[in-house]
Amino acid sequence: MIAKSLTMLKSLQYSNGLFSATRKDVKTGYNAAWIRDNIYTALGFEAAKKYKEVKRMYHALLDILLKHEYKIDWAIREKPKHKYQYIHPRYNPATMEEFWGEWGNKQNDSIGALLFKIGDLENKGIKIIRNNNDLRILQKLVHYLLSIQYWQDSDNGVWEENEEVHASSVGACVAGLKKIRSLVYVPEGLIKRGENSLKHLLPRESQTKDVDLALLSLIYPYNVADREMALKILENVERKLAREKGVIRYIGDRYYSHNGMEAEWTMGFSWLAICYKQMGRLDKYSFYMRKAVSSMNEKGELPELYYAKSNIHNENSPLGWSQALFIVMNKM
């Protein structure tokens, strides 16, 4: 199953290194390349020690940011007032150009995720940074997070929806700044501001959501929640969001909802398994490993989601993010 999952992920990668979120021929718009989805998809290759694919992807993301460096410079000079002034989270994987359109594109977690993984890989001896241009853009991303005041900035969050301060976004930035400070300058107090914000937010995701699947990111990959908080997050997600074919993102989620019930995301089972393994709960790890396998379709794919209380999934299959977390879960 791991080999098959890696083959699926390879089919999503373009010649320049970017991954589409799902099949390249899909009609849902998920043939685009999101910064965040690329980072999570690469976790599968990293777990399998396939570093060539990992490096190609990060080089492509750095090339995108270098291509749009003028935009980052604007945002550093003055805090953005409009969505389009933020670093765009979604690109055409063939041309590396932004997809135009006003939608939930204030996604601060994607910048935190990028800083976190580049810092993490470099610390592990997996060289991502090629030259001074890469170092310059990484330094500017730190200044960008300062300019937007990430610790109190209302963004659209992991799910690209309503603007509010999200714990998962703040946590990603805190983790990113901690990892990258061995490579570039991080102003004093910038991390502490985020940590203080998390103390006020957690265990909630935001003002409107007491529990959210995205909170698992604070346990894996970011590891910014202490053990007590991590267990509280896991308990809340498991008790309130776990369903038969996956984990709902949050209560009241209308994306692909059916008869007023929330869609069930397959990535949730692998994610829970990974987090429980990190907590040393091998019983829960084994349980959610089995649940992850049971959420595969007849092709052995992990689709984005199943409609509530059904075996019917949407067109986004396989979802790179889901397939990658399945590999990570099995390689732990």
Could you give the CA distance from residue 211 to residue 204 in angstroms, rounded to a whole number?
6
DSSP string, 120-174: HHHHTT-----SHHHHHHHHHHHHHHHHTTGGG--B-TTTT-S-B--HHHHHHHH
pLDDT per residue rounded down to tens, the chain (332 residues): 999 999 999 999 999 999 999 999 999 999 999 999 999 999 999 999 999 999 999 999 999 999 999 999 999 999 999 988 999 999 999 999 998 777 778 999 999 999 999 999 999 999 999 999 999 999 999 999 999 999 999 999 999 999 999 999 999 999 999 999 999 999 999 999 999 999 999 999 999 999 999 999 999 999 999 999 999 999 999 999 999 999 999 999 999 999 999 999 999 999 999 999 999 999 999 999 999 999 999 999 999 999 999 999 999 999 999 999 999 999 99
Q: Can you tell me the distance from the alpha carbon of 225 to that of 235, in angstroms, rounded to the nearest whole number? A: 14
| Pairing state between β 90-91 and 305-306 | unpaired
DSSP sequence for 8-50:
HHHHTB-TTS-B-SS-TT-SSSTTSEEHHHHHHHHHHHHHTT-
What CA–CA distance (Å, rounded) separates 311 from 194? 41
Residue 80, preceding bond cis, omega within 30 degrees? no
Instruction: Say what the pLDDT of residue 92 is.
Output: 94
Domains and CATH numbers, the chain: 2-331 (1.50.10.10)
Q: Report whether 1 contacts 326 (CB < 8 A).
A: yes
SS3 241: helix
pTM above 0.95? yes
Query: CB-based burial of residue 68 (10 Å sphere; 0-12 exposed, 13-18 middle, 19+ buried)?
Result: middle
The residues near 53 (Cβ < 8 Å, ≥ 6 apart) are 9, 10, 13, 17, 42, 45
Work out the number of other CB atoms within 10 angstroms of the CB of residue 200.
11
Can you say whether the dihedral through the CA atoms of 279, 221, 173, 137 is positive or negative?
positive
Give the C-alpha separation, 90 to 36, whole Å. Answer: 9
Residue 89 confidence (pLDDT): 95
At which residue do the structure tokens 């019930």 appear? 261
Specify burial of residue 117 (Cβ count, 10 A radius: 0-12, 13-18, 19+). buried
The DSSP string of 156-222 is -TTTT-S-B--HHHHHHHHHHHHHHTTTS---TTHHHHHHHHHHHHTTSSSSS-S--GGGGGGTTTS
Cβ contact 152:169 at 8 Å = no
What pLDDT sits at residue 100? 76
213, 189 in Cβ contact below 8 A?
A: no
